[in-house]
Amino acid sequence: MGSTEQEVKQDGSEATQPVREIGHDEYDPIGTLTLIALYFLILISMWFFMYFVEFVGNDPTVVGMV
């Protein structure tokens, strides 16, 4: 990561100014990828749980007329 560090004045309590500027090409959103991958795993596992355990296990179910 070749971020260009920039010294910015700190006004005490909360910094609203960036301490460095990060451009598009040097920005690597690895944290976002990690969080979103976690979310994906939760979604997939919860979906199969809801469908095959909670739903299919909640017999009787409406079936096609024979």
Partner 1 sequence: MQIHNYEKMWLVAALVLIVAIIATITYGTVGLGIAMVDDTEDTVDPGALEEEDGFDDPGVTQVGENEYDVHVIAYQFGYDPGDEVNGEIQIPEDSEVNFYVTSRDVIHSFSLVGTNVNTMVVPGEVAAITAEFDEPERYGIICNEYCGPQHHDMEGIVAVVPEEDFHLFTLEDVEAPDEVELGDDATFDVTVSSDHYDERTTTATFEAENETTGEEVEVEEELTFDGHDTAETTFTVDTDDFGTGDFDWTVTVEDEIESGSVAVLEELEEDE
Partner 2 sequence: MSTFVDDFPAEAKVVRSSMYNAFVALAIGALMGILQTLYRTDVFHFISAEQYYTVLTAHGVFMVISFTIWFLVGVFAWAVISSLDRGVEDLRFTWAWFGFMTVGTLLAAIAIFGGFMSDPPEVLGSELSADVLFTFYAPLEAHPFFYIGLVLFVVGTWLAGADWFRSYLAWRSENPGERIPLPTFMVLTTMIMWYIATLGVATSILVFLLPWSLGLVDTVNPTLTRTLFWFFGHPVVYFWLMPAYLLWYTLLPKLAGGRLFSDPLARVVFVLFLLLSTPVGIHHQYLDPGIAEGFKFIAMTNTMFLLLPSLLTAFTVVASIEHGARQRGGEGRLGWLKALPWKDPVFTGMIFAGLMFAAGGFSGMVNAGMNINYLVHNTLWVPGHFHLTVGTAVALTFMAASYWFIPQLTGKQLVGRSIALVQVVLWFVGMVFMTNAMHRTGMLGVPRRTAEPWYDGFEYAGNVAEHNFQIALGGTILTLSILLFFVVILLTLLRGSKGGVEGSSIPEPLSGPDHSPAVIDNLKLWAGIAIVLVIMAYTLPLASIVERGGLFGPDGMRSFPSGNPGFLEYTSLFVQMVIQNATEVIFR
Whole-number Å distance between alpha carbons of 64 and 66: 6
Structural contact between residues 2 and 24, judged by C-beta atoms closer than 8 angstroms: no
Cβ(20)–Cβ(3) below 8 Å: yes
Q: Which of residues 16-35 bind partner 2 (CB under 8 A)?
A: 16-24, 27, 29-32, 34-35
- Interacting residue with partner 2 among 7, 9, 11, 61 (CB under 8 A): 61
Which residues of this chain interact with partner 1, rule CB under 8 A? 24, 29-30, 32-33, 36-37, 40, 43-44, 47-48, 51, 55-56, 58-66
Give me the least distance between CB of 44 and partner 1, in Å please.
Answer: 7
